Amino acid sequence: MDIQTIKNRYDIIGNDPKLLLAINKAIQVAPTDLSILVTGESGVGKEVFARMIHDNSSRKHKKLVSVNCGAIPEGTIESELFGHIKGSFTGAEKDRKGYFEEADGGTIFLDEVGELPLSMQVKLLRVLENGEIIPVGSSTSRKINVRVVAATNVDLLSAIRKGHYREDLYYRLNQISIAIPPLRERKEDIVLLFRKFASDISEKYHMPLLRLSDDGRQYLMEYPWYGNVRELKNVTEQIAVVETERVITREILENYIHYVPDEKMPVLFQQEGQAGNTISDRELLLKALTMGQMINDMRAEINNLKQMISTLAQQGVPLHQPMDQENYVDGGNYYQLDTPQQEHPYHHFGSIKDHHQSDYKAPAEAEEVEFQEFPSETKPTGAENEPISLAEREKAAIIRALERHHGRRRPAAQDLGISERSLYRKIKLYELDN
């Protein structure tokens, strides 16, 4: 069967070389039982290719079952695909065949296969490898003979790199790949399709036929058509029904589609060699929100630390001592000292788990940090040889504040100059809530 006959049979309009290549490839592989992955943007006609492949295969006398994987809720998708037995879950009042069993001997078209959850990807791979299904609630497998044609508008290789799709399933589905070009890459076909849709609706509703002016034709060919053939058909039907003028100009078209040249569209900067690693607007927004929250949390912690240091200073606790150690661990946090006698002799580098073991001393192994003794005129009685750490001073300050306010945390936190939430965390840290 030649390509023109196929185009007439399936109402395919267009002479673009990429489109003709996809049609020819579909006809060549149709008699085989190889799994086929049809790729292309939404609206390019992937289901037409699935029907074309089935009708020209040895399975054409059996069923072609079409399944939109993205439209089935995750909780019921296994039952929809593989069936279930009576009593397997609430509402399962009788045995039910799944789509795979319904398509036994024929072809199953898995549209939007890129939307399958990971848990189902594993089960689908098992079915493709073994030719067996296990209905929900059953322990017995059933043999099936199904040819799989899958379609997706998702970049599955990118999804594999991100861990959202199984590589083994991708190669099992992609034994033969057919890529359908988007409408904006078939500029000469756009006018042909417009005339076809205009003729159809004119005949259906007995209206005068639409014609394109020169500037209208040019405008149609410049428009990017992100909705592809589906969008063009929708626009054509709207114009045919709404407009009284039958010569369609650029001015009329601008009321239905608004073209923004690609060079004026905002784009993400992408360095050479980073192709395929583009970030969606949603991912950028989530990263921005997460980073904003992290910054706010860091600011709050820094303010709490400043207030705590100020409070300790007001209570007469010395804030700087000469130290011999380069590093010490305090309260689950890792600190590195700058120089002795510095006003604030540490920088916070995050939690211990963020550092390699060779970069810090664990709390149980850390050397005890000794502080310079108080000058004789201000030295507390009995403190001549007693070493004390910053954590111990902080703990003592918290205990005194809680005692002053009879265990009430809010006034104690206000007294210490920190938030009640920070006080609660430090109480848990120092085990003062027992």
Claim to verify: residue 197 and residue 129 sit in the same structural domain: no
Indicate if the pLDDT at residue 217 is higher than 60: yes
Q: Which of 158, 181, 204 is the last residue of a domain?
A: 181
Q: Degrees (nearest 5) of the Cα angle 181, 187, 190?
A: 95
Are 90 and 231 part of one and the same domain? Answer: no
Please, what is the average pLDDT of the chain?
Answer: 80
305 and 422 in a common domain: yes
217 within a domain of the structure (yes/no): yes
Q: How many domains does the chain have?
A: 3
How high is the pLDDT of residue 260?
A: 58
124: CATH: 3.40.50.300
- The answer on 27 and 175 residing in a single domain is yes
Q: Measuring CA to CA, how many Å separate 209 from each of 83, 135, 239, 246?
A: 49, 54, 11, 7
59: pLDDT strictly greater than 90: yes
Query: pTM of this prediction?
Result: 0.60
* Same domain assignment for residues 118 and 228: no
> Domain of 388?
287-372+384-429
Residue 353 forms part of a structural domain: yes
Shared domain for 175 and 190, answered yes or no, is no
For the chain, the distance separating the N- and C-terminal CA atoms, rounded to the nearest angstrom, is: 85
Do residue 306 and residue 356 come from a single domain? yes
**Where would I find the H helices in 183-338?**
187-205, 214-222, 228-242, 250-253, 281-314
Using the 3D structure, point to which of 181, 197, 222 is the last residue of a domain.
Answer: 181
Give 314-372 pLDDT, tens digit per residue.
766 655 544 444 444 444 444 444 444 444 444 444 443 444 444 444 444 444 444 44
Q: Is 167 part of a structural domain of the chain?
A: yes
Summarised one tens digit per residue, pLDDT across range 176-205 is 999 999 999 999 999 999 999 999 999 999
Distances (CA, A) of 62 to 10, 140, 238: 19, 25, 38
Helix or strand run (H / E) with residue 397: helix 390-404
Residue 390 in domain: yes
Residue 253 lies in a domain: yes
Residue 269 in domain: no
pLDDT of residue 33: 94
CATH number at residue 237: 1.10.8.60
Q: Is the torsion defined by CA of 187, 188, 189, 193 positive or negative? A: positive
| Residue 280: inside a domain | no
Rounded distance, CA 392 to CA 341, Å?
Answer: 20
Whether the per-residue pLDDT at 263 is higher than 70: the answer is no
Residue 198's pLDDT is what?
A: 95
Asked whether residue 234 falls in the same domain as residue 308, the answer is: no
Q: Are residues 12 and 76 in the same domain?
A: yes
pLDDT digits (tens, 9 = 90+) for 276-296: 444 555 566 666 666 666 777
**Residues 175, 47 within the same domain:** yes
Q: Assess whether 229 and 318 both reside in one domain.
A: no
- Whether 256 and 129 map to the same domain: the answer is no
Residue ending a domain, choose from 160, 181, 202: 181
Which is more confidently placed, 373 or 401?
Answer: 401
Task: Quote the pLDDT of residue 409.
Answer: 86
| 225 within some domain | yes
- Which pLDDT does position 289 carry in this prediction? 63
Residue 375: per-residue pLDDT: 44
